[in-house]
Structure 1
């Protein structure tokens, strides 16, 4: 492919996509190395130096930095790339949609190679393993090759402190417990260093949130065969870790979204959230009836505590990706209307259970909540949160700045344009 196609900003997306379709298929074993960055200027020169010494001259490889930085990282990349024997490019995103995982997906959309390799920029992932990851995939026929800290020869030495080690191990156990089939054969689902065949990935199916993109790809793309290569997790070369409590919460939200991606799973999640709503509902009912209020008006007031509790959890855990089509107040109003509307059915049922069958108020309430569960779930999904197919057409706008880097003439043949908008 000509150098002009890689760097000419005057080409529109349709023109570039057509040109990409016209070129020959990528060379066997060609690589797009995707490196998401956020304020990693201090690591770039050393990273590219090690990549230069690690990637064999015969291996078709291009490097794409997808950058969300607020510092001068893009400029540092542009200068450091001048000495690289392979194409290097930067895609700078004005909005960091999806976090690090979203950055990787943006890079995947532009990859035209056989393999996509994902690694961090902080040198905790050893660059010399890039050819080995792809080589293992070619030798074994695997579609996904994971660099693992938890197999023989691997180590998590670069995780500073017992707290981070405990969190990493706990997250690993949790994810493998939640997704036993999708993560079969993956000992380190928290790894951010892996190679995946581009043909396996459907970017439109991905809904990343935060930095655990391997989990997203493994669960949604389901590669048929997985292999692993051991690696020693290194100390960060420069800068500070991006792991924060906020990222931890995003990780938990991401787990919930993945686990409830199907209708039956969402119904189960809805039921579990509804069960947890018994606590504020029944607690409020106990307080109100204990204060002397008749159980029927107490039911109405206590129901609001459960409604608010359920709404917060459903928003965060079940329908995170279906919230932008309505204002939160509109969603809350609709949810509360539906939740209280079932009182028209539930209160007469409770009255029958209490007055005719002699049940106590609390068990009668619990039984009535269970009987109206399916109806409430169906109405909530249909009337409060639109189906995913309709939401998919409403994507957040973004402004991207592409910074082409100088590369030697003819470098990276067979690899495809680093900043091409085409996914193949």
Structure 2
């Protein structure tokens, strides 16, 4: 079989009939199947069985009982990929926020690459279907953090690693490498594989029925996933920062003791030396694996120097505000500002200081062929035109975005 559409569901009974109807229309004449991986506590599984009787596409159901639901939604997707009969697998949500009409385009664009991601953040993509401005902010922030933590495998190839809508060549995914947890299976796949990835834009739609399952627990699971996937680089970054703090304090103490300098200029001198010290160690022990096509060393140092000085200017007034205006204990306030500053510094260093330069070939590949956005708009009801497009398999680019 050519294609399996994997749909993980949790209490989506009201969405199943419309989803299958639109997939039937979009995939008419194709060698495809629909596979529901259901963790529901309602009668979603019964609705799937009923709809399967009239669907023009083969519809299969894998219902997981509570004691079988290892890995949450990400585990459901991994189980679906493992059970898929198709050479290619499209993963999509069951709430119709991922337009079924885009599935043929995802599959057709996958021929020259390993994976095609439907992105809310490239080209004419749109994330306004998220239920609130808070959720949009959380999504954007999580995306930035994910791309920062994985600048080569994620940051260079994918603008939306948090999406749940993508097509992958099943043979390109080694399921034994995955440790699925929480909601973000795409990030797990990208972080543990070196894949050739293309992107197409899509508009994230409104829910057809039911309520969003997003909660603060999902945020905690995401942070746990990030720590498990990237603790090596982040822990080295933290260790360099801790050593830099010791260097900073030691130099300041020596200047005060041996030269009699006022504490303010002594603090400034110590800070500048610590910044240079940290940069040298980051180059060697934290980001030494990102040697391809980087900006010149002097420019990386200038970026690092400017940001760290700006960080100090911003952090101290915030510290004073927390202590004086919010009555936060000074030690706790210091810990909060240092924690936020650490994450912000890691994101900046990963995305700016060590961001690879684009080659002319990559720039042309990212531009890609024009896409008729109206043909793939949510709830449009018409199947998108397919087409192989792109270079031959032996000439595939590392990334191509529409």
Question: Would you call these one fold, judging by a TM-score over 0.5?
Answer: yes
Q: Kindly tell me: are residues 42 and 272 of structure 1, through their superposed partners in 2, closer, same or farther at Cα, counting changes over 3 Å?
A: farther
The Cα shift of 1:268 comes to: 3.5
2:14 to 42, 45, 61: 42
The Cα shift of 1:125 comes to: 0.1
How is 1:261-280 mapped onto 2 (pairs within 5 angstroms)? 265=233, 268=236
| Matched length | 241
TM-score normalised by L of structure 1: 0.54
The Cα shift of 1:265 comes to: 4.9
- Residues 243-298 of structure 1 deviation map (CA, whole Å, 9 limit, x = unaligned): 000111001000111113xxx559748959999xx9xxxxxxxxxxxxxxxxxxxx
Kindly indicate whether the alpha-carbon contact (under 8 Å) linking 2:128 and 2:136 is maintained by their aligned counterparts in 1.
no
1:142 corresponds to 2:113: yes
* 2:74 matched residue in structure 1: 101
Aligned equivalents of 1:162, 1:43: Cα separation in 2: 24
Kindly indicate whether the alpha-carbon contact (under 8 Å) linking 2:149 and 2:234 is maintained by their aligned counterparts in 1.
no
- Residues 173-230 of structure 1 deviation map (CA, whole Å, 9 limit, x = unaligned): 110110110112211111110000011011111101111111001111221x111111
Q: Kindly tell me: are residues 274 and 72 of structure 1, through their superposed partners in 2, closer, same or farther at Cα, counting changes over 3 Å?
A: farther
Aligned equivalents of 1:168, 1:205: Cα separation in 2: 25
Aligned equivalents of 1:104, 1:238: Cα separation in 2: 21
1:129 corresponds to 2:130: no
* 2:174 matched residue in structure 1: 202
Aligned equivalents of 2:233, 2:102: Cα separation in 1: 38
* 1:165 matched residue in structure 2: 136
* 1:252 matched residue in structure 2: 223
Aligned equivalents of 1:157, 1:119: Cα separation in 2: 18
TM-score normalised by L of structure 2: 0.57
* 1:75 matched residue in structure 2: 46
Q: Secondary structure at the match of 1:83?
A: coil
* 2:291 matched residue in structure 1: none
Unaligned 5+ segments in structure 1 are 1-25, 279-424
Q: Quick check: which has more Rg, 1 or 2?
A: 1
Aligned equivalents of 1:105, 1:185: Cα separation in 2: 21
The Cα shift of 1:83 comes to: 1.4
Q: Secondary structure at the match of 2:192?
A: helix
Unaligned 5+ segments in structure 2 are 247-402
How is 1:110-125 mapped onto 2 (pairs within 5 angstroms)? 110-125=83-98
* 1:193 matched residue in structure 2: 165
Aligned equivalents of 2:219, 2:47: Cα separation in 1: 30
* 1:229 matched residue in structure 2: 200
The Cα shift of 1:49 comes to: 0.9
Aligned equivalents of 1:93, 1:232: Cα separation in 2: 31
Q: Kindly tell me: are residues 274 and 67 of structure 1, through their superposed partners in 2, closer, same or farther at Cα, counting changes over 3 Å?
A: farther
- Residues 136-190 of structure 1 deviation map (CA, whole Å, 9 limit, x = unaligned): 112xx11110001111221112112211111011001110110110112211111
**Worse overlay, 158-167 or 121-130:** 158-167
Aligned equivalents of 1:67, 1:272: Cα separation in 2: 45
Q: Secondary structure at the match of 2:14?
A: helix
- Residues 19-40 of structure 1 deviation map (CA, whole Å, 9 limit, x = unaligned): xxxxxxx4xxx11111001111
Q: Kindly tell me: are residues 73 and 268 of structure 1, through their superposed partners in 2, closer, same or farther at Cα, counting changes over 3 Å?
A: same
Q: Kindly tell me: are residues 70 and 272 of structure 1, through their superposed partners in 2, closer, same or farther at Cα, counting changes over 3 Å?
A: farther
- The two structures, once aligned, show a CA RMSD in angstroms of 2.0
1:51 corresponds to 2:23: yes
Aligned equivalents of 1:36, 1:255: Cα separation in 2: 22
The Cα shift of 1:64 comes to: 0.7
2:58 to 80, 84, 87: 87
Aligned equivalents of 1:273, 1:85: Cα separation in 2: 59
Q: Secondary structure at the match of 2:86?
A: coil
Q: Kindly tell me: are residues 180 and 88 of structure 1, through their superposed partners in 2, closer, same or farther at Cα, counting changes over 3 Å?
A: same
The Cα shift of 1:92 comes to: 0.8
Aligned equivalents of 1:235, 1:259: Cα separation in 2: 33
Q: Secondary structure at the match of 1:56?
A: coil
The Cα shift of 1:47 comes to: 0.6
